[in-house]
Chain A
Amino acid sequence: DTGVSQNPRHKITKRGQNVTFRCDPISEHNRLYWYRQTLGQGPEFLTYFQNEAQLEKSRLLSDRFSAERPKGSFSTLEIQRTEQGDSAMYLCASFLFQGANTGELFFGEGSRLTVL
């Protein structure tokens, strides 16, 4: 257990529905990342935060995806009008950014989304 918690672990939904995933990082970690991973591929960067500020969002991410970290603690990733192509594992990771540190990422166990 890395200390990063993701919920729900599994979500099955019908195409067109909205889904929301939550990530609770390690409490003192100020950086939080979201990745998407499909079978046989490495994690694909989606977005990341420094405290509550969203620093970058992948250009591959459509407008149906939105992420927030309202108080600089937990984060949510929402997918609106889900499509079958959204089926994947959504991974959250965090670390404590302090100047020029090396930044080992601590990952949660992921939230697996299946869109029918």
Chain B
Amino acid sequence: SQKIEQNSEALNIQEGKTATLTCNYTNYSPAYLQWYRQDPGRGPVFLLLIRENEKEKRKERLKVTFDTTLKQSLFHITASQPADSATYLCALRTGTYKYIFGTGTRLKVLA
């Protein structure tokens, strides 16, 4: 079955450092992959999308890479700030436009 795995443990980093989150998937070949941010008690909010033919995508302090051979996406937040503390979710879209989400990684940026 299709499976999406993210770092299950929380990630704590110091303010100003780069946070790197991992998303691995199996039994699937997605056309693109999305990343969302979710704050406690709120719905997820879309951040970035990367297509299968793109190696890297950037938006301000965010960077996403996509390696279809490794079946992995990496999500980077540079110059991290305490306001970046949240849970980050990756999601794959199936051929019928059903979106499957990973378990999420909780990031805490320490001041």
A62 to B70, CA, bound (A): 35
Whether B103 and A42, one on each chain, are in contact in the complex, defined by CB atoms closer than 8 angstroms, is yes
Interface string of B27-42 (1 = CB under 8 A from A): 0000010101000011
Which of the candidate stretches B11-19, B43-51, B58-66, B72-80 sits at the interface with the other chain?
B43-51
Whether A42 and B99, one on each chain, are in contact in the complex, defined by CB atoms closer than 8 angstroms, is no
> Which DSSP category, helix, strand, loop or mixed, fits chain B's interface?
strand
Which B residues are CB-close (under 8 A) to A41? 103-104
How big is the A interface, by class?
20 to 34
Nearest chain A CB to B109 CB, angstrom units: 19
Residues facing A in B3-17 (CB within 8 A) are: 4, 6
Whether A43 and B89, one on each chain, are in contact in the complex, defined by CB atoms closer than 8 angstroms, is yes
Binding site for A on B (CB under 8 A): 4, 6, 32, 34, 36, 41-46, 49, 51, 89, 91, 93, 96-104
